Amino acid sequence: MSFEIVEATITDIQAALDAGEITSKQLVLMYLERIADHDKNGLTINSVLEINPDALFIAESLDVERTLHGARGPMHGIPVLLKDNINTGDKMHTSAGSLALADSFALEDAFIVTKLREAGAIIMGKANMTEFANFMTNGMPSGYSSRGGQVLNPYNISTPTGGSSAGSAVAVACNFCTVSVGTETSGSILNPGNLGSVIGIKPTVGLLSRSGILPLSNTQDTAGPMARTVTDAVLMLNAMLGRDDSDAAMGSNYGRIHEDYTAFLDKDGLQGVRIGIPRDYYFEELTEEQLALFNASAQLMREMGATIVDPADIRTAREISYSSVVLNEFKTSLNAYLSRLGPGAPIRTLKQIIDYNHAHPIETLKYGQITLIEAEYTTSGTFTEPQYIRDRATDLKLCKEEGIDAVMKEHQLDALLFPADFGARITSRAGYPSIVVPSGYTGVGAPFGVTFSAKAYQEPQLIKMAYAFEQASKVRKPPSLRSFI
C-alpha cells in the first residue's frame, strides 16, 4: 500500500479515503501494526492500554457508509484513542490506569464520546495514563499506572513523558493513532503535549462536557484534543462540541461557543496581536537551551507582526501556593462517578479502591497511595471545610481576577505566552484555555514547546496564534522509533 501513515493528517487521510487509495479498515490495521511493532514490542513505548475489539467492524461499517452516502464530515473513519479515564459504553474498560478498576465497565459513552461517534470517528482504544491522573501518591513518575505500566518518551527515554495524559500524547507523537483525547486538571494536557512534541488544547472549563469522565476536580477538570497539527486538534475539538445540561459548568458558555473553530485557522493570526510574557517566576527552571528556544519563538512572533510585551508579569504569581481544592473535591467527585457505574460494578467507592490496593500491594503499591488515603480520611466530602472554602476563593482571586485578568487588562493583551507548560497551575485554577505548540528540541532531542493562554472562551484567538506560529515554525518531527539518544 502506497499510503504513508506517518504524520498523515486528517485532511491527508480524508483525501486518500475519498480517492479510494485506502479504507478506514486498512487504516486501523496500519495503526495496529505500528502499535504491535513499537508499543508492545521493539521499543515498548507502552502508550496504548487497550484496543477496542470492535474497531475493525466499526471501520468497515463506516467504509460502507462512505460508499453509499458519502462521509459525515472530517472525522468520518478517523481512528481515535481515548485517555483511560473516559467512559465508553462498549467492550472496553475505563480504569484510570488502576488495577482496582481493571474490571470496570461503563454503562454508556461519555458525552464527548457520543459526539465523536456521531461524527464518524472510530474509537480505536484507550491510552495509558498516570494512575488516577497522578493523584494517587507522591513520587510516582508521570506516565506510570499499575494497570498499564510505564509509558516511555519516544524522543529520549531519559526524559519524562509528562502527565497525566501521557499515553494520549505519546501515541499521537508515535503515529499509533490519528488523534487522541486527553484530560486536564492542572497541566495534564499541556505537560505531556510539551514533552511529546504534539499540540494540546486545554479548553475553557465549560466548553466541553465532562459527563462520563472519571474525575479529579469538579472545578478544574476538562477534556481536550491532542494532535500532531493545530488543524487536526481543532477538527477534534469541533467533533466533541455539544450542549450537555447535566454538566453545570456548561451554563457559562451560552453565546460563547462557535460552531466551527476551523474558521480561526489563520496563517496571519499573529498580525497585530499583543502577547505578554510573564518572565518573573515562570522562567526560573529553564535551562539555557530552553530559554534560547523560547526567546527564538518570541522573536519569530514579532517578525510575524505580534507586539510582544516583555515582561508582562503576573503580580500574584509568587503568592500562589498549595491549594486544598483538588484534594477536597476528589473523593466526592470520584464516589459520585463510581456510583453511576451500575449495580454490577466491582468497586463503588474510594475506600474500596484503597482497600483493594492494600490487599494487592505488590501489584498496585509500587509507589504507595498516600494521596488516596489523605483524600479519603482527611476530607469530609461535603465541601464544608473552612480551608477548602478559603482556598477556592483565593484561587479565583489570585489566578483569575488579580492574576490573569489583571495583567491582560493592564497591558491590553490578547494572550499570555509561557515556556513549556509552566503557566498550567495558574490557568487551570482560573478555568482558562491554553494551547501548547512544539517550538523545538534540545541537544539531547527532548521536545520543548510554548503555551498560548487567554481568558475564558477565547479559544478563537488562541487558535489563530497557535496556527500562525505552527505554520511559520514547522519544527515538529516524529520520533524515529529506532534508537534513543
Task: Report the catalytic residues.
Answer: 83, 164, 188
Q: Which residue in 90, 199, 101, 214 sits closest to 148, CA to CA? A: 101
Q: Nearest to residue 179, comparing CAs of 75, 60, 259, 24?
A: 75
C-alpha to C-alpha distance for 63 and 371, rounded to whole angstroms: 46
223 strand-pairing partners? 183
Report in angstroms the alpha-carbon separations of 228 from 170, 192, 203, 297, 437: 11, 13, 17, 18, 9
The torsion region of residue 46 among left (phi > 0), alpha (psi -120 to 50) and beta comes to left
Q: Are 131 and 125 in contact (CB under 8 A)?
A: no
Q: Is the distance from CB of 162 to CB of 142 less than 8 angstroms?
A: yes
DSSP state at residue 416: E
Instruction: Give the type of residue at 375.
Output: A
Paired strand residues for 81 = 125, 180
- What's the rounded Cα separation, in Å, for the pair 453 and 208? 17
CB burial class (10 A; 0-12, 13-18, 19+) of residue 283?
Answer: middle
**Cα 95–chain centre separation:** 17
Q: Where are any strands of DSSP class E within 144-267?
A: 144-145, 149-150, 179-184, 199-202, 222-227
User: Which grid coordinates belong to 161?
Assistant: 513523558
Q: What are phi and psi of 281, to 5 degrees?
A: 80, -45
* 362: phi then psi, degrees, rounded to nearest 5: -65, -40
